[in-house]
Chain A
Amino acid sequence: MKISIVPALRVLKPAAILVLVAFFGLGVGYWSNATFSSDTSPEQPIAFSHQIHAGENEIPCQYCHTQASRSPSAGVPSVSKCIGCHNEIATERPQIRLLMSYWENREPIPWIKVHDLPDFVHFTHKRHVLAEIECQTCHGAVETMDRIRLARRDIDGTVQHDQTWEMRLCLGCHRENEVENGTDCWTCHK
């Protein structure tokens, strides 16, 4: 005749341990997916390196993303734009050959979208560029990325925000800079 609750708990112990282990496994699985099969830095059809272009050669962002200052969308450079330079430059590299093949077949390059906002968010580059906000504020230190990836907090914490783009980033910035109607939902959602 056991009255105390303890023996009953003892019976449950092994089961409890199993559950704990399973939870641990859950975490591991999640982390491994995030690390090894990431969607925040996918393989692009052409291994275009922002590090080389924006970093080493210091080409200004808006040289290619021409519309950033006058349109909601920054715009992807047309293939002709790439060819404009790469007719002469580094024509022998395999990746440039690949680019050429696209050009000759008059095919667009199917870049994979990395910085993707939900459809119900209507962000406009124009206003932000005109407000002289650094591209890096949201896109991270693009000039250091060989393959473009969604901005994330680096070890030294250079980029102040976290792996995925979250609404509080927008809000925080809007609050800091006292944007007018900066926290009105209809400023971005319509």
Chain B
Amino acid sequence: MPKIDRREFIKLVGAGGVGAGAGFMLRESKKDPTEYLIPYVVAPEDFSSGIATWYNSVCSMCSTGCGISVRTREGRAKKIEGNPSHPVNQGRLCGMGQAGLQVLYNPDRITEPLVQAGDRGSMSFEQITWENGLDQLAGRLELLRAARRGNKVSFLTAGVNGHLAQLIESFMRQLGSNRLLHYDFDHPHTLYAANQKFFGQDHLPYYDLQNTNLLLSFGADYLTNWISPVHHSIGFGTSRQRQAETRGRFVQIEPRMSASGAAADEWIAAIPGTEGILALGMANHIVSQGNYQGADRADWLAALSDYSPSQVAEQTGIPERTITRLADEFTETQPSLAIGGGGAANHSNSVDTLVAVNVLNYLAGNVGSEGGLLFNPVPAGTVSRPHQASYRNMLELTEAAHQGEIDVLIINGTNPVFTLPAAAEFREALAEIPLVVSTSSFFDETTVLADLILPSNSYLESWGDHFPEAGVGFPVGAVSQPVVSPLYNTRATGDIILGLANKIGMSSTIPWTSMEECIKAGWRRIYERGDRQTLAQGFDEFWTALLKAGVWGETTNGSTAFTPDQSVIAGVSVAAPEFSGSEQDYPFILHPYLSANFHDGRGANLPWMQERPDPMTSVVYGSWVEINPTTAVELGLIEGDLVDIESPQGQVRAPVFVYPAIMPNVIAMPIGQGHSEYGRYAKDRGANPLEILSPQMEQITGNLATSATRVRIVATGSHIDLVKTSGTSRDLGRNIVQTTGSEGHEVSDVRLNSIPITELT
């Protein structure tokens, strides 16, 4: 052992110390951050940690009303799936329905009642209490009501259904106002009108895609957004998976290939607005060929005399052969079915067009027969048809506002500032209204202009019920129950109205204190009209069973017999479509269509929808204008070139997408993007074609003719890279998607099944 001098010693100690420190820190750095186990103060009964609980409810993402069952863990909603026992969607659900979770958990939700402190639209909102907020509104209403001027109150709501609709109705009645408007951009006014006109029924029939062998769709994108897309998809699938000889055949007639067009066996391009003429041409062929042998054949011959296939061929540009072939197919293949929607249903002559479609169904004997068009029984729940506001009604509202006849406007769940064309001047109208109240839970274009915001729950947090209007041939209803406790200080729309009601003192007619009571009371009535064995069990059992199943149905069917009377037959005719703007200045027809991801724009604040590639173009996060390849070449445009779409009403700017399946003189744009507000995901993204639509209406219903605007394309010279997920959408002869002739078609017996919910809970 050599002797260590002082310096040596200090060195050693130093080294040891440093080492020790390092070691200590090393161990310290290895430690995980402290985690905590937070128990419940009182454990809830209905769920326990680590185990999923499923609640059945109703989807409110669009007006269809599919049944959903929501998977929750530790009191949080994790996944939305279709409710297997709901006859409309049978356990299936579209993407947007599943994205409902992001409505609930959206970071841009309004969390508190707010009052506008600055000028309108200045976004200087101040937080207030519910009491305060309700008082502010109730005060106004009470004064007006006392002064018998309740009609100065207008209630503008999305197309709500079920007992909420009923509640709003009676609330407005109590106020003495008849200005209750249900406004949905995509409400099929013309379809209702056409059925009214031809069948004399004011509700939709059930289109039995499931059993039809030939579907003739005039512009209706039935797989994406027409009436009840999921149900139609199920029908489509089942008919596709039938045996070879009965495999359903689908024909799509539209100016721009929609998802349904892509799925169809045959796609026929037709100028928007001429679909009805085409239909009558076919009708004419059917009758004149003697494929229709009804008693009223003579009348039909007379009525359809101007629509010989040759004439129609001239007007529509569709070869006569095609028309006659389709007509023959349509009568030979049984059962067959013709439907109309999309561009065909939103044009200057749409009611007649859709009547013509019904005529086809009638002549081919599809009315009231399985696989054709079945009449729904009178719907079980309340359906608020009379209040459905067409474009004309909205204009009347704005007019009234300008006249100063509106003191209070309550807006619930609808966004007219976005979905109405600029020509409607709704934004300006709002400025004339002293008090604008919004119950939206998002800062959409309309809500930012409100003075008072009473944010409502998302549908996953509130009570409600829904009676699908399209139905499935028999009455169906479903109760929507809260699957999670409200995240924020918001209230269900129903509860807001009830709150107002008892502040104003309507408790005599509106006795309920909560929406749950209201719904329950309503369902007691439905329960009471039930048959014996329903009544055998008490209401409470009925109610719990209802909540568990999430759906209720009645085995009553609509009438099947139908014969149109002389006058109707005589009245059958379709005028040529009218377009705004001259063909010289505006060579192209603008065909806006509901986006698969955003519907009428309500989905634009859902990141999942923004990130999901558009089914046809695979574009994400943005909008585009679809142009036929040859047209693009003529104009010297390639994908990504920014162009201005100019109509007499204004212009929007969008990048070009060269779309192989659109008519050369038509350009198409998806609706849904181009929000100036509506949260971080939607704001300032893409363009909104609705802005530049000409205010042209279908005369009978006053429905906006969205496909009747002519536009011109002006290249801006600038170019952007369109953000899309597809590389090259041609398979370069690699035979990746293989096809076979129909003879090769064969299917195994495929039953529809879903995860049995009972087993998962």
Direct contact, A vs B (beta carbon within 8 Å): yes
B-contacting residues of A (Cβ < 8 Å)? 14, 17-19, 21-34, 37, 39, 42, 66-67, 70-73, 75-81, 103, 106-113, 116
Assess the B41–A67 pair: CB atoms within 8 A: no
Assess the B39–A73 pair: CB atoms within 8 A: no
Assess the A79–B35 pair: CB atoms within 8 A: no
- Closest beta carbon of chain B to A105's beta carbon, Å: 9
Residues in B neighbouring A23, C-beta threshold 8 A: 19
Assess the B51–A28 pair: CB atoms within 8 A: no
Assess the A32–B18 pair: CB atoms within 8 A: no
Assess the B24–A33 pair: CB atoms within 8 A: yes
* Assembly CA distance A66 to B22 (angstroms): 44
Cβ of B23 under 8 Å from chain A: yes
Cβ of B12 under 8 Å from chain A: yes
- Closest beta carbon of chain A to B46's beta carbon, Å: 14
Extra pairs beyond A29-B19, A29-B21 (5, CB < 8 Å): A17-B12, A26-B19, A28-B20, A66-B48, A78-B43
Cβ of B15 under 8 Å from chain A: yes
Known A22-B16, A75-B48: A28·B23 in contact at CB below 8 Å: yes
* Assembly CA distance A54 to B32 (angstroms): 28
Residue of A nearest to B11 (CB): A18
Residue of A nearest to B35 (CB): A113
Assess the A24–B32 pair: CB atoms within 8 A: no
* Assembly CA distance A81 to B37 (angstroms): 15
* Assembly CA distance A31 to B19 (angstroms): 12
Known A29-B20, A67-B50: A108·B40 in contact at CB below 8 Å: yes
**8 Å CB contact of B41 from A14, A19, A71, A79:** A79
Residue of A nearest to B28 (CB): A33
19 A-B pairs in the complex with CB atoms less than 8 angstroms apart: A14-B11, A18-B15, A21-B15, A21-B19, A25-B18, A26-B23, A27-B19, A28-B19, A29-B19, A29-B22, A29-B25, A29-B26, A33-B23, A67-B49, A71-B48, A75-B50, A78-B42, A106-B41, A108-B41
Assess the A108–B38 pair: CB atoms within 8 A: yes
* Assembly CA distance A25 to B24 (angstroms): 9
**8 Å CB contact of B37 from A26, A31, A39, A112:** A112
Known A112-B36, A113-B35: A26·B41 in contact at CB below 8 Å: no
- Closest beta carbon of chain A to B630's beta carbon, Å: 51
Known A26-B22, A28-B19, A29-B27: A77·B39 in contact at CB below 8 Å: yes
Residues in A neighbouring B24, C-beta threshold 8 A: 29-30, 32-33
- Could you tell me which residues of chain B, from 29 to 69, have a CB within 8 Å of some CB in chain A? 31-32, 34-43, 48-51
Assess the A25–B15 pair: CB atoms within 8 A: yes
Tell me the count of chain B residues lying within 8 A, CB to CB, of chain A. Answer: 33
Residues in A neighbouring B21, C-beta threshold 8 A: 25, 29
Residues in A neighbouring B40, C-beta threshold 8 A: 78-80, 108
Residues in A neighbouring B26, C-beta threshold 8 A: 26, 29-30
- Could you tell me which residues of chain B, from 70 to 105, have a CB within 8 Å of some CB in chain A? none
* Assembly CA distance A109 to B18 (angstroms): 40
- Closest beta carbon of chain A to B100's beta carbon, Å: 25
Assess the B16–A27 pair: CB atoms within 8 A: no
* Assembly CA distance A113 to B32 (angstroms): 11
User: Shortest 9 CB-CB distances between A and B: which pairs?
Assistant: A25-B19, A29-B23, A29-B20, A73-B50, A33-B27, A71-B50, A22-B19, A30-B23, A29-B24
Cβ of B587 under 8 Å from chain A: no
- Closest beta carbon of chain A to B476's beta carbon, Å: 35
- Closest beta carbon of chain B to A54's beta carbon, Å: 17
Residue of A nearest to B18 (CB): A22
Residues in A neighbouring B42, C-beta threshold 8 A: 78-80
* Assembly CA distance A131 to B37 (angstroms): 25
* Assembly CA distance A138 to B191 (angstroms): 67
* Assembly CA distance A103 to B26 (angstroms): 40
Cβ of B17 under 8 Å from chain A: yes
Residues in A neighbouring B48, C-beta threshold 8 A: 66-67, 70-71, 75
Assess the B37–A113 pair: CB atoms within 8 A: yes
* Assembly CA distance A112 to B48 (angstroms): 20
Residues in A neighbouring B23, C-beta threshold 8 A: 25-33
Assess the A39–B16 pair: CB atoms within 8 A: no
- Closest beta carbon of chain A to B27's beta carbon, Å: 4
Main secondary structure of the interface of A (DSSP, over half): helix
- Closest beta carbon of chain A to B5's beta carbon, Å: 11
* Assembly CA distance A106 to B41 (angstroms): 6
Residue of B nearest to A76 (CB): B39
**Which of A17, A21, A76, A77 is the most central at the interface, judged by chain B CB atoms within 10 Å of its CB?**
A21
Known A21-B15, A29-B23, A71-B50: A79·B28 in contact at CB below 8 Å: no
Residue of A nearest to B25 (CB): A29
* Assembly CA distance A32 to B8 (angstroms): 26
* Assembly CA distance A22 to B18 (angstroms): 7
Assess the A113–B34 pair: CB atoms within 8 A: yes
Residues in A neighbouring B51, C-beta threshold 8 A: 67, 70-72
Assess the A116–B35 pair: CB atoms within 8 A: yes
Residue of A nearest to B17 (CB): A25
Assess the A26–B49 pair: CB atoms within 8 A: no
Residues in B neighbouring A78, C-beta threshold 8 A: 39-43
Known A25-B20, A29-B21, A73-B50: A111·B15 in contact at CB below 8 Å: no
Assess the A111–B39 pair: CB atoms within 8 A: yes
Residue of B nearest to A79 (CB): B41
Known A25-B20, A30-B23, A103-B41: A37·B28 in contact at CB below 8 Å: yes
* Assembly CA distance A81 to B38 (angstroms): 14
Residues in A neighbouring B49, C-beta threshold 8 A: 67, 71, 73, 75
Residue of A nearest to B23 (CB): A29
* Assembly CA distance A14 to B15 (angstroms): 12
Residues in B neighbouring A33, C-beta threshold 8 A: 23-24, 27-28
Residues in A neighbouring B8, C-beta threshold 8 A: 14
**8 Å CB contact of A112 from B25, B34, B39, B43:** B34
Assess the A107–B41 pair: CB atoms within 8 A: yes
* Assembly CA distance A80 to B224 (angstroms): 51
**Which of A29, A79, A111, A113 is the most central at the interface, judged by chain B CB atoms within 10 Å of its CB?**
A29
Assess the B16–A111 pair: CB atoms within 8 A: no
Residues in A neighbouring B32, C-beta threshold 8 A: 39, 116
- Closest beta carbon of chain A to B650's beta carbon, Å: 52
Assess the A22–B15 pair: CB atoms within 8 A: yes
* Assembly CA distance A29 to B32 (angstroms): 19
Residues in A neighbouring B37, C-beta threshold 8 A: 76, 110-113
Residue of A nearest to B74 (CB): A73
Assess the A80–B41 pair: CB atoms within 8 A: yes
Residues in A neighbouring B17, C-beta threshold 8 A: 25
- Closest beta carbon of chain B to A118's beta carbon, Å: 9
Residues in A neighbouring B43, C-beta threshold 8 A: 78, 80-81
Residues in B neighbouring A37, C-beta threshold 8 A: 28
Residues in B neighbouring A27, C-beta threshold 8 A: 19, 23
Residues in B neighbouring A112, C-beta threshold 8 A: 34-37
Residues in A neighbouring B12, C-beta threshold 8 A: 17-18, 21
**8 Å CB contact of B39 from A18, A25, A42, A109:** A109
Residue of B nearest to A111 (CB): B37
* Assembly CA distance A26 to B51 (angstroms): 46
Residues in B neighbouring A29, C-beta threshold 8 A: 19-27
Residues in A neighbouring B36, C-beta threshold 8 A: 110-113
**8 Å CB contact of A24 from B19, B25, B41:** B19
- Closest beta carbon of chain B to A100's beta carbon, Å: 13
* Assembly CA distance A81 to B35 (angstroms): 22
Residues in A neighbouring B31, C-beta threshold 8 A: 39
Residues in B neighbouring A80, C-beta threshold 8 A: 40-43
Residues in B neighbouring A39, C-beta threshold 8 A: 31-32, 34
- Closest beta carbon of chain A to B136's beta carbon, Å: 33
Assess the A26–B28 pair: CB atoms within 8 A: no
- Closest beta carbon of chain B to A112's beta carbon, Å: 6
* Assembly CA distance A30 to B20 (angstroms): 7
- Closest beta carbon of chain B to A143's beta carbon, Å: 19
- Closest beta carbon of chain A to B276's beta carbon, Å: 55
Residue of B nearest to A80 (CB): B42
* Assembly CA distance A28 to B43 (angstroms): 46
* Assembly CA distance A172 to B164 (angstroms): 60
Residue of B nearest to A37 (CB): B28
